[in-house]
Amino acid sequence: MQASNSALNHSVIRLIIIDDHVVVRAGLRMLIENHPTFEVTGEAGTIEQAVEVVKIQPCDVILLDLDIGGRDGSELIPQLMELQPDANILILTGMREPGIASRVTAMGARGIVMKEHATEALLKAIECVHQGQLWMDRSLMASVIADLRRGPETKVDPEAAKIATLTARECDVVTLIGEGLKNKEIAKRLFLSETTVRHHLTSIFAKLEVDDRLELVIYAYRHNLIKPAP
């Protein structure tokens, strides 16, 4: 049997679409397959279909709606992650309920795209989550941070050993990133060169096992490396 194009071309990002609206799935498939490096390998309109499709179809990104025939699509996240441990889940939804962003990211989703956003945002989000990054808009990010502030972790923190490896200067850099400062501003505040700041960031990412600034901010709030403003 001839190998598929996806197997031959490792740059192709394979997607499965899970949405209960046929027209929405058709539109998403058309949009995605017009992209030169995206390929839809499967789709599903119910939770049961989603499980079966993900069992047999290879994928890199799973595009998941949160409302599937009146059922909560987020209940699928743990099962999808078990079936396709190397795939990243991207939520596509029109729901803006309080706490929803925190809930789905805590369950393992790598990003959320609101349905009213431009198509370019969805395509960019697919690329980002495929690379292991987190994706969400500013309002959702603010919601996640607010939830973390209201409910700080009270259990024994298994990440404490990693955090303990940070130097005092690296802790300063984390604090300033939490304030929204860019590398140039951090360098000026700490009397460092931008190159040194970049070196500190590389070290911080490695020690805390995060991939980018957004993940670092979430991690820092979750583990109280950044103190909420009064």
Which residue carries 């996640």 as its tokens?
A: 144
| pTM (two decimals) | 0.62
The fold adopted by the segment(s) 5-146 is Rossmann fold (3.40.50)
Q: What is the CATH number that goes with domain 155-222?
A: 1.10.10.10
Which residue carries 């990002």 as its tokens?
A: 13
How far, in Å, are 152, 164, 184, 191, 229 from residue 225 at the CA level?
A: 11, 11, 21, 21, 13
Instruction: Give the pLDDT mean for 14-42.
Output: 94
What are the boundaries of each domain within the chain?
5-146, 155-222
Confidence of residue 96 (pLDDT cuts 50, 70, 90): low
The per-residue pLDDT for range 64-94, each reduced to its tens digit, is 998 888 888 888 898 999 999 999 999 988 8
Compute and round to an integer the Cα radius of gyration of the chain. 19
Predicted confidence (pLDDT) at residue 165 exceeds the cutoff of 90: no
Provide the phi-psi class of 99: left if phi over 0, else alpha when psi is between -120 and 50, else beta.
left
Confidence of residue 151 (pLDDT cuts 50, 70, 90): low
The per-residue pLDDT for range 115-142, each reduced to its tens digit, is 887 788 899 999 999 988 888 876 677 6
Q: Which amino acid is at 149?
A: R
How far, in Å, are 110, 114, 139, 143 from residue 101 at the CA level?
A: 10, 11, 10, 7
Same fold, 5-146 and 155-222: no
Buried b (16+ CB within 10 A) or exposed e, 93-109: beeeeeebbbbbbeeeb
